[in-house]
Amino acid sequence: MTADAGRPVDDNVVWHTHPVTRQDREGLHKHQGTVLWFTGLSGSGKSTLAGALEQVLHQRGVSTYLLDGDNFRHGLCRDLGFSDDDRRENIRRVGEVARLMVDAGLIVLTAFISPHRAERQLVRDMLPAGRFIEVFVDTPLAVCEARDPKGLYQKARSGELRNFTGIDTVYEAPQRPDLHLDGEQLVTNLTGRLLDLLDERVIINF
Ligand SMILES: Nc1ncnc2c1ncn2[C@@H]1O[C@H](COP(=O)(O)OS(=O)(=O)O)[C@@H](OP(=O)(O)O)[C@H]1O
Ligand SMILES: Nc1ncnc2c1ncn2[C@@H]1O[C@H](COP(=O)(O)OP(=O)(O)O)[C@@H](O)[C@H]1O
């Protein structure tokens, strides 16, 4: 990881370069540190797909880690809500954590709504070229709302929950995702599409 990957820092803070590099760690893992960034509406299937893919990769001996929106908001981002500013800060922090994990040589799967194009681009720009793979889980709002596994759409429609993505706040769909998935297809088919993409990009070198 290089100093220019970070934000401007105090002149008195100097970047340290260490003898073991990302490339060394990737050689050990036999795959490239990469982020698979799942984005989509609440209920679109991000967590389900990321979990299914992680299970397959893990069984194949790939070192993975899944960062999940709901879980992050119990810890590192527990101070944040759902205003535009808080979502921006949420995604910036997730991006920084993902960047460290990529530097560690892991295949990172993230499941965050990440509704704004600008923040998704910010995370892409934090990472080495080609190491951010944007996966759009494209499930119509009506389908997500019918699924409603946590009853949140119902609360949003009744006005009990404000700033709910797709109801009273924006979701900016990716214009050129690396992979565009129809979130109504079978999970096994979608997992297959993801594995094909990892093959095409030669992310894993077993
Ligand atoms: N107002 C509002 N809007 C959207 N989602 C809400 C809201 N309040 C709570 N939740 C729950 O929080 C999960 C989304 O968190 P994220 O960190 O992924 O959101 S974001 O990327 O910062 O927009 C989201 O999880 P998923 O359903 O898994 O996407 C919801 O369970
Ligand atoms: N491809 C799919 N087909 C049918 N149901 C799905 C599919 N993917 C996810 N689901 C279901 O939809 C609901 C929301 O999925 P989840 O992965 O929690 O979405 P998200 O993480 O985007 O909020 C869950 O009940 C899950 O079982």
Look up the ipTM and state it. 0.99
Residue 132 · residue 35 · CB < 8 Å? yes
What distance in angstroms lies between residue 113's CA and the mean position of ligand 1's atoms? 6
From 117, 142, 109, 121, select the one nearest 35 (Cα to Cα).
109
Tell me how far apart the alpha carbons of residues 117 and 194 are, in angstroms, rounded to a whole number: 21
**CATH T-level assignment (fold) for domain 22-201:** Rossmann fold (3.40.50)
Tell me how far apart the alpha carbons of residues 152 and 40 are, in angstroms, rounded to a whole number: 15
Given this model, what pLDDT does residue 11 score? 84
Residue whose Cα lies nearest atom 27 of ligand 2: it is 48
Residues of the chain with confidence (pLDDT) below 70: 1-8
For residue range 48-85, list pLDDT tens digits in order: 999 999 999 999 999 999 999 889 999 999 999 999 99
Residue 22 · residue 105 · CB < 8 Å? yes
From 133, 113, 101, 99, select the one nearest 70 (Cα to Cα).
113
- Give Cα separations from 186 to 65, 78, 143, 190, 193 (angstroms): 23, 33, 14, 6, 11
Is 114 an active-site residue?
yes
Q: Which residues line ligand 2 (CB under 6 A)?
A: 40, 42-48, 111, 147, 149, 183, 185, 187
Q: 83 labelled as ligand-binding?
A: no
Given this model, what pLDDT does residue 10 score? 83
Given this model, what pLDDT does residue 8 score? 59
What distance in angstroms lies between residue 36's CA and the mean position of ligand 2's atoms? 17
Given this model, what pLDDT does residue 3 score? 47
Percent of the chain with pLDDT over 90: 91
Q: How many CB atoms lie within 10 A of CB 171?
A: 17
What distance in angstroms lies between residue 119's CA and the mean position of ligand 2's atoms? 24
Given this model, what pLDDT does residue 9 score? 73
